[in-house]
Amino acid sequence: MRGPAVVILAAGKGTRMPPDLPKVLHPMAGRPLLSHVLDTVRGLQPDRVLLVLGHRAAEIEAAVATEDVEIVLQREQRGTGDAVRASGAALAGFSGTVLVVYGDVPLLRSETLAELLELHRQENNAASILTASFEDPGGYGRIVRDTAGLCTGVVEQRDLAPGQETIQEINSGIIAFEAADLFPALGQLQPANASGELYLTDVIGLLYRSGRRIGSYHLRDAAEILGVNTLEQLYEVERVHASRLRNPAPPCELCAAAARVARAAGAASGDHLLLGSGELAGLKVALQPFNNGHLLAFPRRHVTTLLALTPEEVAELAHWVRRGESALRAVYPFDALNMGCNSGTGEHLAFHLVPRWGGDISFLPLLAGLKLIPETPARAWKRLSEVMS
């Protein structure tokens, strides 16, 4: 599959930053903000990378001279819609996904963008917005939804209708578009104000009204979309970056198990409580505190929603769910097996298999004193792997 074209917007003036450097060349952790964004984008293996420059373009272009990026000049800074439109000529023959990001968001992760793109593809969206929620969303464009929960548009702060101020879900500005939808819609944009600015977010409403589907991917770590417009914000991203280095996110339990499989060429591993795995999916005993017989059937890729699964992965997951049920039945003869799935929580997708006994076999009593399997995960792994071998 072909990678996206990534359009990085970096034409803004950054008038609230010290003038010794263009805004996106101010350093975080000793490297320009823009270098961090370029690294993030490279992680997606993009087909093209376009950098839209305007203010102090020559200095920025010189700073990225060794990078494989295409420079696009925005002559006058007439809004985000105009900035993306400036890349239209360069992308004239491009027919895939266009991902719009910003040169001043150094904390953004490649994994986040990959998940946004995966959702965009799976849902067959015209546009997919990276969103976040803030207690105090003042200043940000808000995500407006219809009664079915589908995104219908983005309303900027000053255009909020009564009642809309309470919306906490905001537009990060980072949006994946289909090129075939994006550029015609950009051509229809009307200036949003007297200075003739064109807003990229107005494209969302246009596409929705033309019957196209708009998706969204909600960030759990809202720090990823922090932009830098002031020195205070530069200190803030530096602080968050440093704390990430000191306290790296613990590796995902299921990715660790999958990595173990890859290294051990399919051998089951008691260390990771793995009961078996194939090319695409695996089965393991859950860690504490879920040692009451929970098994996890999980895709080996780190995906966080059912929508991201391929039909092949679904088939292999079903295989491991069945093998898990028969192993549990052999070791702990139960009355019923409950199954839960964590799609959309931001965690690695998994199906939990939970044996149940007695008259009440619904899921809720899990919270209140249900009968547990009196074994440690390691012991459960040992007995289950014996019946599976």
Roughly what angle, to the nearest 10 degrees, separates helices 110-122 and 33-42?
50
Q: Which of 2, 16, 31, 75 is catalytic?
A: 16
Q: How far is the CB of 384 from Zn ion (least distance, A)?
A: 22
Nearer to Zn ion by C-beta: 96 or 282? 282
Provide the binding-site residues for Zn ion, judged by CB under 5 A: 252, 254-255, 302, 348
Q: Which residue has the tokens 């890859």?
A: 262
The question of whether 16 is a catalytic residue gets the answer yes
Helix ranges (DSSP H) in the chain: 33-42, 57-63, 79-85, 110-122, 179-188, 202-209, 231-246, 253-263, 311-331, 377-388
Nearer to Zn ion by C-beta: 72 or 254? 254
Nearer to Zn ion by C-beta: 252 or 314? 252
First to last CA, the chain: 37
Q: How far is the CB of 269 from Zn ion (least distance, A)?
A: 16
Signed CA dihedral, 326, 328, 334, 338: sign only = negative
Nearer to Zn ion by C-beta: 294 or 348? 348
C-alpha neighbours within 13 Å on the C-beta side of residue 238: 13
Q: CB of 125 within 8 A of CB of 118?
A: no
Q: How far is the CB of 254 from Zn ion (least distance, A)?
A: 5
Nearer to Zn ion by C-beta: 108 or 254? 254
DSSP 59-101: HHHHHTTTS--EEEE-SS--HHHHHHHTTTTTTTT--SEEEEE
Q: What are phi and psi of 338, to 5 degrees?
A: -90, 150
Q: How far is the CB of 302 from Zn ion (least distance, A)?
A: 3
Q: Is the peptide bond before 106 cis (omega within 30 degrees of 0)?
A: no
Q: How far is the CB of 361 from Zn ion (least distance, A)?
A: 30
Residues assigned a catalytic role: 16
